[in-house]
Structure 1
Amino acid sequence: MTSYDPLLEGLNPAQREAVESIEGPVLVVAGPGSGKTRVITHRIAYLVRKWHISPYRILAVTFTNRAAGEMKERLSRLVGSRIDRLSVGTFHAFCAGLLRREGSHIGLDPSFTIYDDDDQVQLLKEAMAQVNIDSKQYPVRAIQGAISRSKSLVLDAASYASNCEGFFEEQVSKVYEKYDALIRRSQALDFDDLLLRSVQLLSKNPDVLERYQRRYQHILIDEFQDTNVAQYMLAKLLAGQYRNICVVGDADQSIYGWRHADIRNILGFQKDFPEARSIVLGENYRSTGNIVEAAQKVISANNLRIHKELWTSKEEGPPVVVPETHDEEEEDQFVISEVERLGRIEGASLGDCAVMYRVNAQSRALEEACLRYGARYKLVGGVRFYQRKEVKDLIAYLRLIGNPQDDVSLVRAINVPRRGIGTKSMDDLSRWAISRGTSLYAALESLNGDPQEDDSLRRSLSSRAAAQMTAFLALVQELAEESSRLDVVALIDRVLERTSYREYVTEHYDLPDERWENIMELRRAAEEFKDEEPPQGLTLLLERLALVADADNYEESADSLTLITLHQAKGLEFPVVFMVGMEEGLLPHFRSLDDTGQLEEERRLCYVGMTRAKDRLYMLRAFRRRFAGGYGPSLPSRFLQEVPASIWEPQAPAVPRRTISEGVQSSSWEPSMAEPTGDAPALPGLSPGDKVRHPTFGEGMVVSCTPSAGDNEVTVAFVGTGVKRLLQSLARLEKLE
């Protein structure tokens, strides 16, 4: 007879198997709403309470700080204070800690700065300038993406250079090499470096690897479908000795390919670990029967997946509603009026409802509608708190105090408040540092050196600029000295006092009171580290600020309608979900239409959106839409056609239609809605949905062909330039195979 264990109470058979399977590799395929967080926390508690595994021997990796915090909170209720010794956090947080402790083995200073996206772009621009690569010809974001992808594949600058093919990659290689030199000089790492350098550390130092393999006898990874090559390599290195690795994920929810997540990690896990046990969590506890069935039908059209059937014992619920509107204005009007109706009839609050969309640009019309109709709303993913100018000003000072070699922070801080150090003086400072292969801080220090040794920098500067630079240097040195004895909150107060920052904000920023309150909010965030021994509190605060992600900032609100992208909605749930813009070119996005892999990721994104809904799901499409600089007809998303007709309810516009193109008036889902009408011939060899190229507008997709004054009017949605109407006789369109 099996003894009773409260940790297993309330678990279904699959969940229980996942909790009890503690030896060897385990793949838990967890469908949306299947209780995976409960499984992970109960599995850890089971290891600690049932098998007496020390929390010190367990590593749990999540993909957001928020998820890590929730996991710790649940575990503290299950196992108490013992959980304090558990390592739980994101890959980046784990790597940051690892490199601060062990980075000296690969030449890293433990006080390294972590650069965010803006810092990285600024340094890349400097690198491009130094190797004479024009940022207009080669956009910095394209260079950044290529370097980021190479790092996710564990290719450092030298490895990338030896493997690059083609002219663009050669240019990237030049920038990568210079960027790497600059970021090393600044004693800094970007997010991708945290992973790359951790893999290098463990791969090149067997003694360090063995020590961490012995420590982490049990490894759990959540959201495994979102790992990239570097993250998976790190996990395999750590699990190499005991092989007690449990990965939890769902290939059907892999939506971060653009961030270099590799779905092959989860699809190939059992090849890397042939002895792995596979457990499927298929019961959905979140959504109604109709929502689950609709989502299952949509995702089943994908080929690149681990087969599973999502099901629920919940009631069928209302059908999936598919409203058709004239344009995005009517679409937004429908959303607001339906939210109001649900509140009036069913008692739903604004906080119960979320509007989800594919691209950020769609939020503008939604925000305007909310303002027009007086609906309170919350835009997720707006200007992040830690990206606000006044907050970044203060962070720049704190980073410079912790790491004087940080060039990016020095450039930001040196004229806050304004000191009259102009662009020419900063260029002179930068040239001097580059010529000697040193940091900007070291260049400033040279101004106080022996003039007989090297006074070339001082001679190139005006006396005022030199005086202001040396005064700034003295300020930073003074603050750095004080950081060794002041707690981090007192240090922040000291920085604000010595820079007269409140007066600066009042004189130079709009909404000064609001901006000062943001500074005070940063000060409150530092309170958590007040009791840490100086300067450790500063190091921990800066690391926390650097690793905060968008998803960590989401807070539920009972009185606000949530506006959120489908990517940001991952991991959230709402009683009522409106998915707007269900049209070809939006969802799926234009960029995916000629790539099977990307198209499958778009379908997974649709699936993620659908499975956020608990009780009601609306999937809206408009006949016409303003998008990417154009305004024209649109085709319904192919994903709508995959929803079974028996469980969705079409809803026509509630007001008389405005005048729209004959080619898009039909409410049918069939492609014929966009075909030519009358006697005008179709463009030879061309039909709606075809990819074409125009000599001026570039590549696009044919939306419709309609008769127009004895000619054929072809409507094409072009990538980057929007929807255009062209005459057949003049268009010079080339069909792409």
Structure 2
Amino acid sequence: MTTAVKPADWKARRRIETCLDENLFVEAAAGTGKTTAMVGRIAELLRTGRATMESVVAVTFTEKAAAEMRLKLMQRLEELAAAEGAPSGEPRPPDELSWVEQALRSFERAQVKTLHAFCTDLLRTYPLEAGLDPDFQVASSSVLDRLAGQALDELLAGSSENPEVARVLRRVFRREFHWESGVRGSLVAAIRLLAENGDFTAPWSRPRGWNRRAELDRAVQALVDLDARTVVDAAGDEDNYLIRNYAEIAICVEDLMGREQDGERDYDYVERWLKAVLDRRTGWGWHGKGRFVGGFSTDELRERRAAARQAAKAVADRADADLAADLRQLLLPVVDRFHQLKRAGGWVSYQDMLVRTRDLLRGQPEVLRRSRNKYSHVFIDEFQDTDRLQVEILLLLCGADEPSGSAGPDPLSDLALVPGKLFVVGDPKQSIYRFRRADVRLYERIRRELGCTVLELTTSFRSRPMLQAAVNGAFSKRMTGSSDGTQATYVPLAPHRPEIPDMPAVLALPVPEPYDRGGGVASWAIAASAPAAVGQFIRWLLEDSGWKVSDPSGGDLVPVEARHVCILSRRFQSWGRDIMRPYAEALEEEGIQHLLVGGPSLFEREEVVALWNCLAAMEWPGDRLKVYAALRGPLFALGDHNLFEYSRRLGPLHPWADPPADISGARQDLQDVAAALSILRELGNNRNDVPVWRTIHELLSRLRAHAGIAWRKEGGDMALANVLRVADRAREFERDRAGSFRGFLTWMREEAERGEPVPGVLPEGEVGVRVMTVHKAKGLEFPVVVLADPGCRVSRNPRRFVDPDVRGGLWAEQICGCRPSDVLDNSEEEIAREHAEADRVAYVAATRARDLLVIPAVGDPPSSGFKTPVNYRDEDPGWMDALHDAVYPEGPAGEQRPRPPPGLPRTSVGADTVAFRPDRWAANYGRPRKETVKTGLYESRAGSEVVWWQRPEPAGTGPSGADSSGEGETEEGAGNDVNWPGALQLWQAERAGATEKGSQSSFTSVTVREVAGVHPEPSANGSGAGADAFAVSAGGRPEWHRMEHDLEFRARVAEVRGREFGDLVHAVLRDLPLMPPDQPCEEGETVRDLATVLARAAARRALFPDNAELVETAAELAVRALRPPLLRRAATARAGGGTVRREVELLDRSGLAAEINEPMREGQTPPAVLRGTADLAFHEPGPDGGSWTVVDYKTDLDPEPHRAGYEAQVSLYAEMIRRATGLPATAAVLVL
């Protein structure tokens, strides 16, 4: 018998559950079980009767965290209800069980939710007191953009002569990201930014001593004095990159001087010109080569250029700051108008809900009093990620002072709390949401001043001890606290889990090719080389390592699988470029299933772009490029040679061009082109007569694209979900805007340019390697974590500055490419905050790993003497720098000898970790240099162990990748004897054969409806007489049951009857309980009520148009169908132990299909499989096993014309069941 080991912090955990009259502030490190601790305290409050389920509010950061907490609380309460005594082992108090059972009964009223959800409930309870429309709606980002654009247009229409407006409109803002759609898009973004941070009211500062004209003149003169043209003419060396940059400067200066020859200087243009010159980032970083060029010292030229750039940039930054202040003042009335438009439409943003809730509680004493009385206990999770507004709301609920309706004391420090009402949990080391207004300084202040008892949870149940040692050693040196509270003080993780043998905890993944051609370790070279290395390592890990990891579901050691691995990066995009796409492609190349969680905008995904191209070809059929993109894309998938030959021989690629009269005699591939154009023409012709979503679904249906997308090599299910999500967005667009087909396409393009991450749908049960950002992974854990994007650098140009201590609060942020003066003046402070948060991001990433942390690293350290690039300076660190101490060996480079690593062959020691170096370092090429970190096991600078992994070499190659036989061909002689025309013909023949083989099914199948000749699927063999004859001979004619209706109801049915009506009736009867219509169901509503709900849900799923009469009539007919004796027999059979199956899929492989079709398919291979779906089949117990009855519903007005086919259909269903079960089966038709 083993005794459970107490965690090192067991006293703190015990105090959380027992000291219920104290306000507690718990600092819980990663993986310490903070959710379990919170749930334990809530359960104790409920168990002891101190609180009820309705009086406890627990606020979480995400919906997922809320769901997890609710589940754990339910489990804990069920355990308490099933226990025989109190948790302490003593006899249970008399009322304890009743309190627990009451909590379970009222569990659905538990207030465990996100803060935004809590605020929504409060505002809907008191909408008038909050000044809101009682039916307010939360606005989507697109709605907010539309309203902000409307407010902006009103400003532009009424202020066209305003000089500040003219200055703004003439300024061409630098497009920092590809989704900024010009000046208007930048201004709309600025309006929304100012609106979202409107609770900070302090004005922005202006540059001190700013004289616009004089300073712009000085900046221009600094560039003119550089005399770039003279230097270029004297040098005459076009290959020198330094001289190339001088040439660019000379062209820009000459352009400005030329514009000013005939008039006065236009200072608005000079501002724009200065930004354009200085934004040539690559050119200003060019260093050139040699010591002298054209008689000039290269060092002198660099110094002169740097001085001129510094002088010009200082002026440009001050001009930006001046414009930012003007722009804010100009847009404040627009922001007010924006809020008016939201109120008029009944819209609120998420930030509005927080502001309104705070104002409601502070301004309405009676509302605050009621809320305090309603909620006896307040729990706050992830406190480090809250902002001042959120904290004010929650602390106001915990106050003990009498509400006054005024601002009162500062709720962040001066508020008196009710003892035992507040429980806060957080971790300043995991504060990584500064971009969402979270401020770690606020956390430290509340922790220090609020007067709560502070406890620490340090025992981590997540990571293995060796991994914890690496994390402790790396971050204890970085997180040493700060006087201003911008960085946390590190609290070491205490171990609890057993160690895993024969597997490293920290693995350094060498970046194989980190050098550029100039001999420097370049971030772009690392970015290009790392994805392939990650893909190769993960394939080796899954297939060849033999390592085992702890299964998240049970904790047992299991072989590592793709679902155990997660790739984490700090970002998904950089300058409009998808950073993580190369990693996904590397996994695809290795054949590894994966899932990209989040990432680029939904409208930038490959499958969605393909859909947009097809829709655009319908809207703009005269745009040949759009039509080509649609036909060439993955949905139509027509080849270039087919499109070219069609346009050359048969006609233009235009949907409205008439196809040739002899198209039927053309080759099949050309007929496919004509068919594709016909689809675009037909759908385009109807695009404005039907909803956009219907056009999308019709296109997918015509192309059978659902299966094609879902069967992609990797991620097909998610790709299909994304395409269907576009149809949902089309419904939302038409509902919110009543827009047109073209308007929807324009909106999609704008959303793609904005690039906001619209998350794709995550299919349930999807497994594979996850690829996500650290922020997305917050709160998650994985057995194996691989860090990605090692070239990501921490910004040296802060965009915002926040000072909540200024009167009214100061929030200054870059708008329209202009940084306010407050940001410039406090840039050093903001850079320090950015660097501190980068360490916290790395900490969160490292602590997501349970068993193995993989960190990309460059084997040649900077101390080895190799050239390092400009962007690797100390003041520009990377996001993984905090982990370098856990990666690089202790001591000087090259001195520590590697040892054999655990779980790896002994040959994995001493190999070079850099696969390629430039020629200048090739003296010892093929052998590691002395300074290079070789493969093997080391003791890191953090005091923990690290393994530098050896990349497996391709078969038949040596360490350098050369042919080990020494008989490889030279580059000049390689491939000279290849017969390229013959190889091409062979490939084309093989491809044609593979295509032909793939188009032939491995077996043939036929549906019951086809062989029975039932419309709307007429039999290919005729009327189905053979099936009818076979069915009658096998089981006799089926029974017919007809329902009788009153004339009024029959008229209602006649008005709506059709294919959609029949589908709805069948869908309702599939799920409707077999009981009397007015009998209550388990949910408390009647069968009739449930039928209406099912009909509405079925109509939404099938994307039927909104038609209340159709839904209500279908529901009523389904309810009436429960009355005939046939369905009452089914209900009786179920009550008597029989089986009732509805919408049952039938598949017959006994040869029934061949028996039916053999007389009608002479000379052809008969189908092997017969398939169909029976509406209802029920088994009635009896002697000899009982019998089956099969029922088929019919909603025709007059079924007689199709009587023979219907009888054959249901008789075949009965025969299929008879052959499958060996029991008698009778058939019946129920005419509804």
TM-score normalised by the chain length of structure 1: 0.63
Matched, 1:49 2:308: no
Task: Tell me the equivalent position of 2:845.
Answer: 609
Q: Supply the distance in 2 between the matched residues of 1:667 and 1:562 (Cα, whole angstroms).
A: 38
Task: Tell me the equivalent position of 2:1067.
Answer: none
Task: Tell me the equivalent position of 1:198.
Answer: 357
Q: 1:328 offset after TM fit, Å?
A: 3.2
Q: 2:456 aligns with which of 280, 284, 288?
A: 280
Q: Supply the distance in 1 between the matched residues of 2:192 and 2:433 (Cα, whole angstroms).
A: 14
Q: 1:342 offset after TM fit, Å?
A: 2.0
Gapped runs of 5+ residues in structure 1?
Answer: 1-7, 392-414, 421-497, 527-548, 625-630, 671-737
Q: Supply the distance in 2 between the matched residues of 1:97 and 1:660 (Cα, whole angstroms).
A: 67
Partners of 2:912 and 2:932 within 8 A in 1: no
Partners of 1:183 and 1:189 within 8 A in 2: yes
Q: 1:321 aligns with which of 499, 502, 507?
A: 507
Q: 1:377 aligns with which of 594, 598, 604?
A: 594
Q: 1:48 offset after TM fit, Å?
A: 0.2
Q: 1:299 offset after TM fit, Å?
A: 3.1
Partners of 1:33 and 1:287 within 8 A in 2: yes
Matched, 1:246 2:423: yes
Partners of 1:56 and 1:87 within 8 A in 2: yes
Q: Supply the distance in 2 between the matched residues of 1:598 and 1:31 (Cα, whole angstroms).
A: 21
Q: Supply the distance in 1 between the matched residues of 2:438 and 2:506 (Cα, whole angstroms).
A: 31
Q: Supply the distance in 1 between the matched residues of 2:920 and 2:191 (Cα, whole angstroms).
A: 42
Q: 2:564 aligns with which of 334, 340, 352?
A: 352
* Within-5 A mapping of 1:382-461: 382=599
- Secondary structure of 1:139's partner? helix
Q: Supply the distance in 1 between the matched residues of 2:796 and 2:489 (Cα, whole angstroms).
A: 26
* Within-5 A mapping of 1:224-303: 224-241=383-400, 242=418, 244-274=421-451, 276-300=452-476, 301-302=478-479, 303=481
Q: 1:260 offset after TM fit, Å?
A: 0.6
* Within-5 A mapping of 1:3-82: 12-79=10-77, 80-82=104-106
Q: Supply the distance in 1 between the matched residues of 2:72 and 2:328 (Cα, whole angstroms).
A: 47
Matched, 1:588 2:794: yes
Matched, 1:571 2:757: no
Q: Supply the distance in 2 between the matched residues of 1:247 and 1:280 (Cα, whole angstroms).
A: 12
Q: 1:109 aligns with which of 129, 133, 136?
A: 133
* Within-5 A mapping of 1:294-693: 294-300=470-476, 301-302=478-479, 303=481, 304-315=487-498, 318-325=504-511, 326=513, 327-344=526-543, 345-346=546-547, 347-361=559-573, 362-382=579-599, 503-506=694-697, 513=706, 514=720, 518=724, 559-583=767-791, 586-591=792-797, 595-621=831-857, 635=872, 637=878, 638-643=881-886, 645=888, 656-659=915-918
Task: Tell me the equivalent position of 2:119.
Answer: 95
Q: 2:186 aligns with which of 139, 142, 147?
A: 139
The one-letter amino acid of 1:246's match is F
Q: Supply the distance in 1 between the matched residues of 2:918 and 2:584 (Cα, whole angstroms).
A: 25
Q: 1:294 offset after TM fit, Å?
A: 2.5
Q: CA, structure 1 residues 520+260, in 2 after alignment: closer, same or farther (shift >3 Å)?
A: closer
- Secondary structure of 1:657's partner? coil
Deviations 1:559-582 (A, max 9, x none): 411111111111111111111233
Deviations 1:95-125 (A, max 9, x none): 1111111121132112112112333233223
Q: Supply the distance in 2 between the matched residues of 1:343 and 1:238 (Cα, whole angstroms).
A: 51
Partners of 1:149 and 1:260 within 8 A in 2: no
Q: CA, structure 1 residues 385+196, in 2 after alignment: closer, same or farther (shift >3 Å)?
A: same
161-170 or 602-611: which moved more? 161-170
- Secondary structure of 2:423's partner? strand
Partners of 1:573 and 1:613 within 8 A in 2: yes
TM-score normalised by the chain length of structure 2: 0.39
- Bigger Rg, which one: 2
The one-letter amino acid of 1:333's match is A
Q: Supply the distance in 2 between the matched residues of 1:520 and 1:561 (Cα, whole angstroms).
A: 25
Q: CA, structure 1 residues 521+248, in 2 after alignment: closer, same or farther (shift >3 Å)?
A: farther
The one-letter amino acid of 2:532's match is Q
Q: CA, structure 1 residues 653+173, in 2 after alignment: closer, same or farther (shift >3 Å)?
A: farther
- Secondary structure of 2:348's partner? strand
Q: CA, structure 1 residues 667+59, in 2 after alignment: closer, same or farther (shift >3 Å)?
A: farther
- Secondary structure of 1:89's partner? strand
Q: Supply the distance in 2 between the matched residues of 1:16 and 1:386 (Cα, whole angstroms).
A: 50
Q: 1:272 offset after TM fit, Å?
A: 4.0
Partners of 2:602 and 2:758 within 8 A in 1: no
Q: CA, structure 1 residues 566+419, in 2 after alignment: closer, same or farther (shift >3 Å)?
A: closer
Q: CA, structure 1 residues 129+660, in 2 after alignment: closer, same or farther (shift >3 Å)?
A: farther
Q: Supply the distance in 2 between the matched residues of 1:556 and 1:280 (Cα, whole angstroms).
A: 36
Q: 1:611 offset after TM fit, Å?
A: 0.3
Partners of 1:328 and 1:622 within 8 A in 2: no
Percent identity of paired positions between Structure 1 and Structure 2: 25
Q: 1:364 offset after TM fit, Å?
A: 1.4
Deviations 1:174-204 (A, max 9, x none): 3321211221121100111110111111111
Q: Supply the distance in 1 between the matched residues of 2:914 and 2:765 (Cα, whole angstroms).
A: 32
Partners of 1:623 and 1:634 within 8 A in 2: no
Task: Tell me the equivalent position of 2:411.
Answer: none
Task: Tell me the equivalent position of 2:368.
Answer: 209
Partners of 1:349 and 1:558 within 8 A in 2: no
Partners of 1:221 and 1:248 within 8 A in 2: yes
Partners of 1:355 and 1:579 within 8 A in 2: yes
Q: CA, structure 1 residues 612+224, in 2 after alignment: closer, same or farther (shift >3 Å)?
A: same
Q: CA, structure 1 residues 33+551, in 2 after alignment: closer, same or farther (shift >3 Å)?
A: farther
Q: How many equivalent residue pairs?
A: 526
Q: Supply the distance in 2 between the matched residues of 1:307 and 1:383 (Cα, whole angstroms).
A: 34
Q: CA, structure 1 residues 9+329, in 2 after alignment: closer, same or farther (shift >3 Å)?
A: closer
Q: Supply the distance in 2 between the matched residues of 1:578 and 1:47 (Cα, whole angstroms).
A: 41
- Secondary structure of 1:105's partner? coil
Partners of 1:324 and 1:652 within 8 A in 2: no
Q: 1:633 offset after TM fit, Å?
A: 8.2
Q: Supply the distance in 2 between the matched residues of 1:515 and 1:555 (Cα, whole angstroms).
A: 7
Q: Supply the distance in 2 between the matched residues of 1:668 and 1:262 (Cα, whole angstroms).
A: 42
Partners of 1:352 and 1:558 within 8 A in 2: no
- Secondary structure of 1:32's partner? coil
Greater RCO (Cα-Cα under 8 Å, separation 6 or more): 1
- Secondary structure of 2:118's partner? helix
Q: 1:219 offset after TM fit, Å?
A: 0.2
Q: 1:382 offset after TM fit, Å?
A: 4.0
Q: CA, structure 1 residues 323+507, in 2 after alignment: closer, same or farther (shift >3 Å)?
A: same
Q: Supply the distance in 1 between the matched residues of 2:66 and 2:496 (Cα, whole angstroms).
A: 29
Q: 1:18 offset after TM fit, Å?
A: 1.9
Q: Supply the distance in 2 between the matched residues of 1:643 and 1:579 (Cα, whole angstroms).
A: 14
Deviations 1:14-69 (A, max 9, x none): 22222223224211100000011111111111110124411111100001111111
Partners of 1:226 and 1:254 within 8 A in 2: yes
Q: Supply the distance in 2 between the matched residues of 1:163 and 1:58 (Cα, whole angstroms).
A: 45
309-318 or 17-26: which moved more? 309-318
Partners of 2:721 and 2:763 within 8 A in 1: no
Matched, 1:181 2:345: no
Deviations 1:179-238 (A, max 9, x none): 112211211001111101111111111100110011111000100000011100101111
